[in-house]
């Protein structure tokens, strides 16, 4: 039995994070940057994968689902037709979530479209106007002194042996008597961090500045971030700090590991690649990062490569795990003491052709099932020259986007 799925152009250009259609329930999935992107309403199907083959299992499941659909696509561009929203775990042993919404609305470069499942007429869309009551948050979380001790242990391991870099994460938890409203969090994040990708999938909500991989008609793009400094709010001072970041041997070393891990993973699959020799400084509202955009063109191949193949090679990058990868993973398991869940895992969307965009789930929080608590995460790259107190300050800066959005919720 084939189920109809229909894509048509929208005459209006909707504000994606304001879209509402109550008949599809409260489930809202998003991948939006600067007003463009995709949002999903409702759930047609949700599927969970685990284990070391989770990317291949997800690929197989999505292809089977596509084969069961009767597709009527009148727009014909990347991100139109059936779309799968994916949120993979950092560690293979934890759950990764695949979600096909009932309705997907997209917008790119002045064009907007809608895709819906079933033979019903095009869904009516409304603007969201609700504002929730203050949350009165209570905060708890990992002890700063304990985390700094873990950083010191990691530094000792690096100085002793073959480990070059390891990324250690920590978390904080906010609870409230009121339920968290995903839409309010997304709108606050989009307002404060318009250059990031604003995402939500099954309770995971955040704003990531890091694009793991984009695939569009054989063109591959990855934005790597590693090396961070906190902004002061004083433009002249921040300009000087940006210069010091660009010259910092510790941060440049960390960045080089991350760029090298991505370039090494993509090189065998690409006929040509561009890997800039020096990073640029990416300015966000609260921090600055060293950033490099790596691009490539896929090889012509008898067996076509899709974004599942790319992400299976790329994850985990040195930016969220370390170098060498396997040794860094073992060190994380030994020292970190945190269940990352889908934090630092690939998140985004994939279309019926295997094109799509997947970022790294950073600057994020996982909302509990009762929607009255949220765990927010931050991680720092630890090198031989890392200072535990400074790394803790950096982690606090990385927690700030979610803390601020929650307090303004």
The per-residue pLDDT for range 361-381, each reduced to its tens digit, is 999 999 999 999 999 999 999
Indicate the pairing of strand 197-201 with strand 28-33. antiparallel
Tell whether the model's pLDDT for residue 257 goes beyond 60.
Answer: yes
Domain of residue 77 covers: 3-118+139-408
Residue 191, C-beta contacts closer than 8 angstroms, at least 6 positions apart: none
Asked whether the beta carbons of 74 and 7 are under 8 A apart, the reply is yes
Split at pLDDT 50, 70, 90, the class of 21 is confident
In angstroms, rounded to a whole number, what is the distance separating the alpha carbons of residues 55 and 64? Answer: 14
Runs of H (alpha helix) within 161-214: 182-192
In angstroms, rounded to a whole number, what is the distance separating the alpha carbons of residues 184 and 189? Answer: 9
In angstroms, rounded to a whole number, what is the distance separating the alpha carbons of residues 298 and 198? Answer: 27
Q: Is residue 315 part of a domain?
A: yes
The predicted structure's pLDDT at residue 399? 93
The predicted structure's pLDDT at residue 97? 98
Q: Is residue 251 part of a domain?
A: yes
Split at pLDDT 50, 70, 90, the class of 141 is confident
Tell whether the model's pLDDT for residue 129 goes beyond 70.
Answer: no
Split at pLDDT 50, 70, 90, the class of 317 is very high
In angstroms, rounded to a whole number, what is the distance separating the alpha carbons of residues 42 and 50? Answer: 23
Distances (CA, A) of 335 to 148, 159, 167: 11, 16, 11
The predicted structure's pLDDT at residue 56? 97
The proportion of the chain whose per-residue pLDDT surpasses 70, expressed as a percent, equals: 98
Q: Is residue 133 part of a domain?
A: no
Rounded mean pLDDT of 221-232? 90
Four-point Cα dihedral 196, 201, 205, 208, nearest 10: -20
Tell whether the model's pLDDT for residue 352 goes beyond 70.
Answer: yes
DSSP code, position 267: G
- Here the CATH number for the domain that contains residue 271 is 3.60.120.10
The predicted structure's pLDDT at residue 11? 82
Q: Is residue 197 part of a domain?
A: yes
* Residues present in the chain in total: 409
Cis peptide bond upstream of 324, omega within 30: yes
The predicted structure's pLDDT at residue 130? 64
Split at pLDDT 50, 70, 90, the class of 25 is confident
3-state secondary structure of 133: coil
Asked whether the beta carbons of 122 and 12 are under 8 A apart, the reply is no
In angstroms, rounded to a whole number, what is the distance separating the alpha carbons of residues 92 and 341? Answer: 10
Q: Is residue 131 part of a domain?
A: no
Percent helix, percent strand, percent coil in the chain, to nearest 5: 30, 35, 35
Rounded mean pLDDT of 116-140? 81
In angstroms, rounded to a whole number, what is the distance separating the alpha carbons of residues 182 and 19? Answer: 13
As to burial, measured by CB atoms within 10 angstroms (0-12 exposed, 13-18 middle, 19+ buried), residue 356 is buried
Q: Is residue 129 part of a domain?
A: no
Average pLDDT, the chain: 92
pLDDT single digits (tens) 142-197: 678 999 999 999 999 999 988 999 999 999 999 998 899 899 999 999 999 999 99
Q: Is residue 17 part of a domain?
A: yes
Tell whether the model's pLDDT for residue 1 goes beyond 60.
Answer: no
Domain count, the chain: 1
Tell whether the model's pLDDT for residue 302 goes beyond 60.
Answer: no
Q: Is residue 37 part of a domain?
A: yes
The predicted structure's pLDDT at residue 132? 65
pTM, two decimal places: 0.94
């Amino acid at each position: 039995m084939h189920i109809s799925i229909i894509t048509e152009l929208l005459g209006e250009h909707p504000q994606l994070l304001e879209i509402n259609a109550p008949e599809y329930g409260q489930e809202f999935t998003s991948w939006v940057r600067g007003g463009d992107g995709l949002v999903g309403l409702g759930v047609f199907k949700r599927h969970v994968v685990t284990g070391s083959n989770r990317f291949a299992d997800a690929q197989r499941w999505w292809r089977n689902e596509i084969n069961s659909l009767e597709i009527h696509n009148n727009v014909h561009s990347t991100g139109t037709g059936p779309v799968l929203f994916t949120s993979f775990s950092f560690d293979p042993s934890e759950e990764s979530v695949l979600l096909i919404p009932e309705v997907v609305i997209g917008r790119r470069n002045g064009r907007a479209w809608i895709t819906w499942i079933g033979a019903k007429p095009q869904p009516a869309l409304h603007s969201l106007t609700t504002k929730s009551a203050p949350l009165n948050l209570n905060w708890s979380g990992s002890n700063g002194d304990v985390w700094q001790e873990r950083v010191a242990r990691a530094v000792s391991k690096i100085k002793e042996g073959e480990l070059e870099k390891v990324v250690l994460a920590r978390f904080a938890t906010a609870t409230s008597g009121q339920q968290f409203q995903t839409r309010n969090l997304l709108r606050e994040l989009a307002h404060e961090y318009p250059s990031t990708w604003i995402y939500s999938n099954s309770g995971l909500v955040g704003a990531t500045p890091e694009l793991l991989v984009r695939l569009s008609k054989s063109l591959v793009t990855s934005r790597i971030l590693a090396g961070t400094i906190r902004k002061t709010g004083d433009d002249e001072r921040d300009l000087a700090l940006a210069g010091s970041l660009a010259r910092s041997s510790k941060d440049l070393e960390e960045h080089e590991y991350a760029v090298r891990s991505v370039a090494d993973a993509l090189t065998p699959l690409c006929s040509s690649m561009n890997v800039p020799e020096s990073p640029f400084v990416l300015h966000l509202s609260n921090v600055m990062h060293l950033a490099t955009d790596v691009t490539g063109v896929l090889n012509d191949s008898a067996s076509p490569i899709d974004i599942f193949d790319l992400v299976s090679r790329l994850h985990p990058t040195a930016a969220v795990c370390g170098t060498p990868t396997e040794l860094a993973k073992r060190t994380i398991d030994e020292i970190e003491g945190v269940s990352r869940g889908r934090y630092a895992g690939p998140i985004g969307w994939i279309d019926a052709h295997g094109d799509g965009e997947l970022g790294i789930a950073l600057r994020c929080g996982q909302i509990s099932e009762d929607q009255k608590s949220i765990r927010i995460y931050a991680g720092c790259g630890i090198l031989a020259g890392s200072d535990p107190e400074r790394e803790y300050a950096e982690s606090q800066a990385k927690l700030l986007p979610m803390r601020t959005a929650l307090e303004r919720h």
